[in-house]
Amino acid sequence: MGIGVLVVTDRLQGSHWRAARQTELHSTAKLCKIRLENALVSRFNAVEALSSLFALHPETTAAEFAAFAAMLLQSNPPIRALQYADSSTRVSYVYPSQENEITVSRPMILLADPERGPSVRKAIDQRQASLQGPLRLRQGGTGLVVRSPIFVADRFMGLAIGVYDVSVLLSEALAGVNLDQFGVRLLDGRGRVFWGAERSSGEVYGLSVLVADSKWTIELHWRAGAAPPLVWTRLVLWGLGGGFLLSTVLLIHFSWAQAQRLQRSVREQTKALSTTNKLLVDEIAVRQQAEDALRASKDRFETVIIRAPIPMVVIDPDQHVVLYNNKFTALFGYTLEDISTMEEWWLTAYPDERYRQSVQKSWQEALASVAEGSKEIEKQDWEITSKDGTVHRVEFKVTNLGQIALVAMNDITERRQAEEELKRYYNHLEELVSERTLELEVKNRDLERMNDLFVGREFRIKELRDRLQAFEEQED
């Protein structure tokens, strides 16, 4: 019975130690996975914002691109460069130009490059952002490249490209996670290690990490010498147990030792519970940090939208307006206090009932096309009545961003007015040409009549001459 109790107690202690060790390894791996996915999603939003800029404003100049890219880079340190490739996939814009001189001086046609072409073709065919890397960059170093295709009315317009520094991006994502006792490494979709320590011979725990359209694997293992086994505890346990079995005479001493062992067991269990509680507290803190990071990413996204150079509106799934940016309020005058739901929007921006019904019908048909599988609502243009009563002709572009919809607008009022003026001028020219043509036809008819009169007179003169000559011949 004594040997059985020692064996069971030894196994229980070993089981508790291994369970705590495994729990710590798994919880740390899950924390690293969450931090990686949240950090990568928040950092890759910059490429989506750049894609939205060109989708809404295809004629964006190099200066406007540089200003927008500079604003994005202020809150995104891992980005080495933001680029724009035109419809032929030739890299046209690069920011910053420093440290990217080779890309500026020797722009590449991405589809023609054997290393980059397949990833570019995949992004265009699937119409979604594609991740390539890690790979060696032409400007030096190792990086990740995210390419987001830009489509306007089902026509491919180019690519928004973000080049990220792998070391900076991963170090930032895992900052704050205590990895002193763990070895961490990352594998790409082909199983190749591109970051981290060599694999240990001990227990390795791996998790899949979703990155854009790719899937990585993160593996954690205990470092050599970390969390050593409970050698001394086991020696004490077996020593006391052996003394108990060999010293049947010392029954009182045995009872005392048994009480001590029970006390130690209670202390160890209390310590284990304290450790478990600490792990739970740490996990809660980690989740709070992840929520704070997500909140910060949302704030950065809102800042980009608010400062965007074109009017933008953010709408939630319940058809409530979440945000108007500064450009929208400056152009149309409305704020959330004026319009907070789509129902209020229809009534305020389209006061004419017949025109409002026409716009709503067009909007519902566009939503139906999205429900049938289309990823984007086709660009539409309607007349909007602003707060001061001015009517603007506006192009709408709606992008689905998961839980929210981003509506971007382009005021084409002046362009339409210029087109109408040109049309009126063209019609006036046609009227002038018609009037001139009519005058020429009248003059031609007058000339033809005078010509007929002249020819008839000549014929009569000739006839008189012939008669006169005949008379003269008769007289002779």
Q: What is the DSSP string of 454-469?
A: HHHHHHHHHHHHHHHH
Residue type at position 428: H
Tokens of 91: 């890299």
Q: How far apart are CA 463 and CA 48, in angstroms?
A: 95
C-alpha 358, offset from chain centre: 32
pLDDT of 132 > 60? The answer is yes
Residues with Cβ < 8 Å from 170, sequence gap 6 or more? 36, 186, 195
CATH architecture assigned to 1-179+224-308: 2-Layer Sandwich (3.30)
pLDDT of 438 > 90? The answer is no
Mean local confidence (pLDDT), 85-99: 88
Q: What pLDDT, on a 0 to 100 scale, did the predictor assign at position 249?
A: 41
Q: 231: pLDDT confidence band, cut at 50, 70 and 90? A: low
Mean local confidence (pLDDT), 234-259: 74
DSSP 139: T
Taking every pair of Cα atoms in the chain, the longest distance, rounded to a whole number of angstroms, is 193
pLDDT of 149 > 90? The answer is yes
Give strand ranges (E) for 252-341: 312-315, 321-324
Q: Which of 211, 175, 217 is nearest to 199 (CA)?
A: 217
Q: How far apart are CA 57 and CA 345, in angstroms?
A: 24
Tokens of 37: 């996915």
User: Within a 10 A sphere around the Cβ of 286, how many other Cβ atoms?
Assistant: 19
Q: How far is CA 271 from CA 151, 268, 276, in A?
A: 60, 5, 9
Mean local confidence (pLDDT), 223-238: 63
Q: How far apart are CA 462 and CA 456, in angstroms?
A: 10
Mean local confidence (pLDDT), 111-135: 88
CA-CA-CA-CA torsion for 315, 319, 324, 328, nearest 10 degrees?
100
The helix or strand, by DSSP H or E, that contains position 391, with its residue range, turns out to be: strand 391-400
Q: 158: pLDDT confidence band, cut at 50, 70 and 90? A: very high
Residues with Cβ < 8 Å from 16, sequence gap 6 or more? 268, 272
Contact 50, 163 (CB under 8 A): no
My answer on whether omega of the bond before 134 falls inside 30° of 0, hence cis, is: yes
Q: Which is higher by pLDDT, 417 or 75?
A: 75
Q: What pLDDT, on a 0 to 100 scale, did the predictor assign at position 230?
A: 59
Q: Let me know how many helices (H) and strands (E) the chain has, helices first.
A: 11, 14
Ramachandran bin of 405, using left for φ above 0, alpha for ψ from -120 to 50, beta for the remaining angles: beta
Q: 295: pLDDT confidence band, cut at 50, 70 and 90? A: confident
Q: How far apart are CA 283 and CA 279, in angstroms?
A: 6
Q: What pLDDT, on a 0 to 100 scale, did the predictor assign at position 226?
A: 58
Q: 373: pLDDT confidence band, cut at 50, 70 and 90? A: low
Mean local confidence (pLDDT), 233-244: 70
3.30.450.20, 3.30.70.2860, 3.40.50.720, 1.10.1760.20: CATH of 312-411: 3.30.450.20
Q: What pLDDT, on a 0 to 100 scale, did the predictor assign at position 237?
A: 62
Ranked by mean pLDDT, the top range of 54-68, 136-150, 242-256, 390-404 is: 54-68
The percentage of the chain sitting over the pLDDT mark of 90, rounded to a whole number, equals 5
Sign of CA dihedral 279, 281, 282, 287: positive
User: 3-state class of 333 per DSSP?
Assistant: coil
Mean local confidence (pLDDT), 113-123: 89
The percentage of the chain sitting over the pLDDT mark of 70, rounded to a whole number, equals 92
Tokens of 328: 């929208």
Residues with Cβ < 8 Å from 248, sequence gap 6 or more? 254
Q: What would the pLDDT profile of 319-342 be if each residue is shown by its tens digit? A: 888 888 898 988 889 998 888 888
Mean local confidence (pLDDT), 134-138: 80
Q: Which of 193, 172, 195 is nearest to 42 (CA)?
A: 172
Q: What is the CA radius of gyration of the chain?
A: 41
Contact 132, 113 (CB under 8 A): no
Ranges of each domain in the chain: 1-179+224-308, 312-411
pLDDT of 232 > 80? The answer is no
Q: Where are the alpha helices (DSSP H) in 334-412?
A: 342-349, 353-371
Q: What pLDDT, on a 0 to 100 scale, did the predictor assign at position 102?
A: 78
Q: What would the pLDDT profile of 270-286 be if each residue is shown by its tens digit? A: 888 888 888 888 888 88
User: What average pLDDT does the structure give for the chain?
Assistant: 82
Q: Which residues pair with 407 in a beta bridge?
A: 313, 398
Q: Which residues pair with 451 in a beta bridge?
A: none
DSSP 375: S
